[in-house]
Each structure stands twice: as structure tokens, then as C-alpha cells.
């Protein structure tokens, strides 16, 4: 599996997802600068988290208007797999590959903490390896993760199995106490219509190394590998 990571001015989790792909999963990994249009024939494009353009104007806004993103849009439209994490998710919404928008956290604070995620659909390229009943413990670190979309879109997301992840309590229940940012029905990640594009606020790349305490985030990468192999 060939992975391409797109780097934007100000991205700060680029290094983390490169390491995720290259060092933890030993995948051939290309790094594409935001001004480049050639994505170098990837099987998976990773859009990293972390404050592209300082989150000035709107998170993801400026990054979503770059040559690299134009190519990502073409790639996704032809069915290519794209995973946007945190700022990557914001970029995906800004460029229209995913519906809706990420508003300020309801507390108005940046929040960094570990949370529990429940997969909303196990039959997607990004979730197929998650065992039944398994909650993923993955950290969030963002100021704008409050997912919002219009009613029609919300219905479509639910009925088409496009809610990839929700924040839940340790018991697996939807619980406002465990919804960190006020996101609509606890949405932590959503999929495109064809389910080849996933945007999620939590950081699986930060929960994929035993030395740091938790490896639940690996399941997402492993799902992609298994999807591409089958």
C-alpha cells in the first residue's frame, strides 16, 4: 500500500502521521508539499492534523484552496481513499469532499484529552478491523471540532451509515458528559457517500504505540490495509 501525506504551511501533525505510516506500519510513504499537484500514485492520502495556516480565518480554509487539495479532490472522486485527521477533517469539509462544517467547541476552549469512540459502521474501508463491541480510546486535541450540518445531511449520514465514529461514555453510551465539543449527536468522524473519504477529529496516530500507552488507533490503519488487500 502506498501512502501520501500532504504537508501544508503550519501543519504540525504531519510528522506524526508520516511516522504512523512509515515507521509503525512500514508503508512506502511520500510527502507532498501543498503547492504540488502530483500525489505520486497513492492508495491512501493522509491529511494531517494541526493548525494549517494557524487556523486563521477558519480552520482548514486556506489549506483547502491549494493545488495539492485540487488533486486530492480528483483522487477522491475517482474512488481513492482519503483520511483527514483533525485539521485534515476540517480541510475535507472546507473543500467540499465531506458535508457540513466544524464549529468552535461549545466550551470555546481547545480541548486535549483521551476519549472513547464507537464505530457507527463496521463495513467501511476504515473500520472493518474493529472488533464488535470494541470502543477505541483515542485522544482529541482541537478547538473547532463541533460538527454541524443541516437536517437533510444529518439524516443522510445516519441512514447511509456514514457516521464513522461517535464519542461515547466508557460504557458505550451516547452521553453529553462524554461529548467534548458539542458535536451533533456526538459525531467524531464522518464518511463520504462512497465511503472512501473519512474525516475524524480524534488522533488515531497518537494512540498507535505501546510505548505511549495505547494502541487502539492502529485498528483504523489496519482496516485500510485489509480493505486494500481484499
Rank residues 103 and 225 by Cβ distance to other proteins and give the closer one. Answer: 103
CA distances from 25 to 1, 2, 123, 195 (A): 10, 11, 22, 23
Q: How far is the CB of 229 from other proteins (least distance, A)?
A: 26
Residue 205 touches other proteins, criterion: CB under 8 A = yes
Rank residues 189 and 202 by Cβ distance to other proteins and give the closer one. Answer: 202
Q: Which is catalytic among the residues 13, 86, 93, 149?
A: 86
Q: How far is the CB of 88 from other proteins (least distance, A)?
A: 14
Residue 203 is among the residues annotated as catalytic for this protein: yes
Q: Which is catalytic among the residues 13, 30, 205, 227?
A: 205
CA distance 11 to 14: 6
Q: What angle do CA 110, 113, 115 make, to 5 degrees?
A: 120
226 φψ region: left (φ > 0), alpha (ψ -120 to 50), beta (else): alpha
Q: Which stretch binds other proteins (CB under 8 A): 8-16, 36-44, 126-134, 189-197?
A: 8-16
Q: Are strands 81-85 and 111-119 parallel, antiparallel or unpaired?
A: unpaired
Q: How many beta carbons lie within 10 A of that of residue 72, not counting itself?
A: 28
Residue 186 touches other proteins, criterion: CB under 8 A = no
Residues noted as catalytic: 86, 203, 205
Binding site for other proteins (CB under 8 A): 9-10, 12-13, 15-16, 19-20, 50-51, 53-58, 61-62, 65, 93-94, 99-101, 103-106, 108-114, 139, 141, 143, 146, 148-150, 182, 203, 205-206, 209, 211-213
Amino acid at each position: 500500500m502506498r501512502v501520501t501525506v500532504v504537508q501544508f504551511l503550519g501543519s504540525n501533525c504531519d510528522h506524526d502521521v508520516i511516522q504512523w505510516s512509515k515507521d509503525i506500519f512500514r508503508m512506502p510513504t511520500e510527502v507532498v508539499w501543498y503547492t504540488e499537484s502530483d500525489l505520486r500514485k497513492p492508495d491512501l492520502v493522509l491529511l494531517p492534523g494541526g493548525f494549517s495556516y494557524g487556523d486563521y480565518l477558519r480552520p482548514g480554509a486556506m489549506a483547502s484552496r491549494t493545488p495539492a487539495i485540487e488533486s486530492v479532490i480528483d483522487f477522491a472522486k475517482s474512488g481513492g481513499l482519503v483520511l483527514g485527521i483533525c485539521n485534515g477533517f476540517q480541510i475535507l469539509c472546507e473543500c467540499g469532499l465531506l458535508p457540513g462544517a466544524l464549529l468552535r467547541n461549545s466550551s470555546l476552549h481547545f480541548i486535549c484529552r483521551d476519549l472513547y469512540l464507537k464505530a457507527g459502521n463496521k463495513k467501511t474501508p476504515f473500520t472493518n478491523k474493529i472488533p464488535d463491541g470494541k470502543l477505541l480510546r483515542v485522544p482529541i486535541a482541537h478547538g473547532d471540532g463541533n460538527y454541524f450540518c443541516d437536517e437533510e445531511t444529518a439524516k443522510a449520514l445516519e441512514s447511509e451509515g456514514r457516521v464513522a465514529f461517535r464519542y461515547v461514555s466508557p460504557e458505550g453510551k451516547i452521553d453529553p458528559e462524554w461529548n467534548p465539543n458539542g458535536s451533533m449527536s456526538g459525531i467524531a468522524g464522518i464518511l463520504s457517500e462512497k465511503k472512501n473519504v473519512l474525516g475524524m477529529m480524534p488522533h488515531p496516530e497518537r494512540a498507535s504505540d505501546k510505548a505511549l500507552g495505547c494502541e487502539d488507533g492502529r485498528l483504523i490503519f489496519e482496516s485500510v490495509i485489509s480493505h486494500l488487500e481484499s
